[in-house]
Amino acid sequence: MPRKKRIAILTAGGDCPGLNAVIRAVVRTAENVHGWETWGIRNGMEGFLEPRDEGIWRLTRQEVSGIVARGGTILGASNRCDIFAVPRKDGTTRDESDRVVKALKRNRIEALITVGGDGTHQMAQRLIEKGIKIVGVPKTIDNDIRGTDRTFGFDTAIGVVGEAIGRLYTTAQSHHRVMLVEVMGRDTGWIALHGGLAGGAEAILIPEIPYDPDRLAHKIRARVEYGKRFSVVVVSEGARRPQGAMVYREGESDRLGGVSFRVAEELRRRTVLEVRHIVLGHTQRGGVPSPYDRILASRLGQQAVQLIADGAFGKMVALRGERMSSWPIAKVAQGPRRVPPRGPLVAQAREIGASFAAADGSDDAYADARARHGAP
């Protein structure tokens, strides 16, 4: 009998709700439709560095049974492994990308599915240039991958944010406080914007619209004058003032976090209300994926196998509207997809009454209209 075609899949970068649904869809589609074998790579690119190919093993239907609703990834993930710059003990780095080429050839794996974000696709593009046949699947809760309208994990994340705001609203109202909710998103504000709208936040600070603390304080004081002695503000971890630097975690140069501490201090100096802040952190990435994310992840996994069958290598599966499409991985690696500051969702949020405390004054027309009608 002819040898079965072998494909492989890895999940790189941070964990994300829906990864297991992708893995399951790839394994089942490859077997059901094409009669192919699927092999898994353990812990992202790190699996290629394990001795004797111990990081590469066969994925069967039994191993993926019942995992569609499970959080995390059965393959493991790593957001610290750059296969082109693996650290040495002396502090230097070495290029181990040839080990990827050799491991795939040694195990007779003909195509690789890389599930990840910007960093993963940047590595994937370089591996494509070394002759590896790769199809990408977009993965991030930040929803900021170029070429696709939606990434799985995002819906789950904004659900967490919306629920958290709902819980904080009652304590803010009871104690007449300003509650700052810091959310993930790196240098894009998709989670903050959607989560803030879902939770009914009074203000939303995102990286794409630099904020002015005086304008934010004015919004809060106007609410006090209107009789609302509390406010909830969603702060994206990449929020910044004009020409201001983003805030990174103490002792770390590549991980954003802690901007809500700075915004809290700015508000304490400008208002009479008590200000509290909470960092949602990794709660946004963990847990059971929402039904929408399970469906989207399953569709992306199925389509990734189809691209391999079509010979469409060097492409990433993409959702454009409600239709599955593809996008060149080389273009994905060019940078993130940002929130349009003057896009329809920002405009709609302003008309509902949310402020972005925009330093450029782009909130002013909406604020003036509200003021004419006696609203804060």
Kindly name the residue from 15, 142, 144, 293 that is annotated as catalytic. Answer: 142
Residue 207 parent element (H or E): none
Residue 312 parent element (H or E): none
CA of 68: how far to CAs of 23, 26, 78, 84, 292, in Å? Answer: 9, 12, 21, 32, 12
Residues, the chain: 376
38 closest CA partner among 5, 69, 11: 5
Helix, strand and coil in the chain, % to nearest 5: 40, 20, 40
Annotated active-site residue 142? The verdict is yes
Taking the C-alpha atoms of residue 18 and residue 110, their distance in angstroms, rounded to an integer, is: 25
**Long-range contacts formed by 337-342: CB under 8 A, 24+ apart:** 337/143, 337/144, 337/145, 337/146, 337/147, 337/188, 338/144, 338/187, 338/188, 338/189, 338/207, 338/208, 339/188, 339/189, 339/190, 339/193, 339/206, 339/208, 340/208, 341/208, 341/209
Q: Is the dihedral of CA 129, 134, 137, 140 positive or negative?
A: negative
3-class secondary structure, 235: strand
Which residue matches tokens 């790839």? Answer: 26
Q: Write the DSSP string, 15-75.
A: --TTHHHHHHHHHHHIIIII--EEEEETTGGGGGGSGGGTTEEEE-HHHHTT-TT--S-TT
* Full strand arrangement of the beta sheet holding 315-320: 56-59, 37-41, 6-11, 111-116, 134-138, 315-320, 323-328
DSSP state for residue 281 in the 8-state scheme? G
Taking the C-alpha atoms of residue 317 and residue 332, their distance in angstroms, rounded to an integer, is: 11
Instruction: Point out the residues that are catalytic.
Output: 142
